[in-house]
Amino acid sequence: MKAVQVYLSPSAGKKLIGDALSGREDILLAAKEHTLAVVMGSTNTYFASALARRLGLPFEEKGFYRGLLLPKSVKPSAPRQRYDFILRKGELLPEKSIFDIAPSLGAEDLILKGGNAVQLSSRDVGILIQSPEGGTMIPILSAAVGRRTRLIHPVGVEKRVDLPIPMLCALLNQESPSGLRMLQGPGLGYTELDAFRDLFGLDAELVAAGGVCGYEGGCLFRLEGEDDAVERLLLRREEEGETPAFEI
């Protein structure tokens, strides 16, 4: 057994999550034989890109988001996309969103929807709601709760919170003339802690966080596992180099 420490920037964490999810057998099965819906978002950009490469499908990374928290000074370099990344039996469904396909989803299908808050101990995830109609979570709830469609929330540990997600929802959803609301997702969160296990078979612990010059929000992990698993991780990091910051 061997232990090592690895620091991930927020963008590197998102990429790790995307790479790990894109290789999971249950996700590949949904993409190839059923319906897989990847809802627009920053972490899902990395997942959709990795999955598209694996399946030989086209995917445009720029503009694959709906709502982002970002400085007012940042201007998009490309128009925001209008459609989610939807696969049905291995084929890309063009110009379709979760609103279009949710009524047809069933228990063998799968949705990936990011989140804005995660409690690591419970893996509960909170999604901020800006739309007065409830946004994409309304059709997602109809499928996940009404027809048992499977749901995964890819979310980085940078979004970890202390209070239980239901308590945060109660705080944000009190009567108020302004501000975002929050809804607890009916799926479980999938973080870098899960990704290290699935990709390399390593047990991961979040041990520190923070940085400057692009490392704000980054996290330090202690990883432990078989010697060859640690070596595979270190070799992959050396080959890939620094992950660029997310661009819109």
pLDDT at 177: 67
In a domain, 246, yes or no: no
How far is Cα 34 from Cα 147, in angstroms, rounded to an integer? Answer: 15
| Element holding 133 (H helix, E strand) | none
In a domain, 83, yes or no: yes
pLDDT at 125: 98
Q: What angle do CA 195, 197, 200 make, to 5 degrees?
A: 95
User: Global pTM?
Assistant: 0.93
Q: What is the CATH number of the domain that holds 136?
A: 3.40.50
pLDDT at 66: 85
pLDDT at 4: 95
In a domain, 247, yes or no: no
In a domain, 248, yes or no: no
In a domain, 188, yes or no: yes
pLDDT at 21: 98
DSSP state, 122?
A: T
pLDDT at 213: 81
Q: Which two tokens stand for residue 162?
A: 């202390």
Is the backbone of residue 59 left (phi > 0), alpha (psi -120 to 50) or beta?
Answer: beta
Counting as low any pLDDT under 50, the low residues of the chain are none
How far is Cα 28 from Cα 87, in angstroms, rounded to an integer? Answer: 10
How far is Cα 106 from Cα 61, in angstroms, rounded to an integer? Answer: 28
Q: Count how many domains the chain has.
A: 1
In a domain, 68, yes or no: yes
pLDDT at 80: 79
Please list the residues that pair with 118 across neighbouring strands: 125, 160
Amino acid identity, position 183:
L
Domain limits at 121?
A: 2-240
pLDDT, tens only, 111-120:
999 999 999 9
In a domain, 80, yes or no: yes
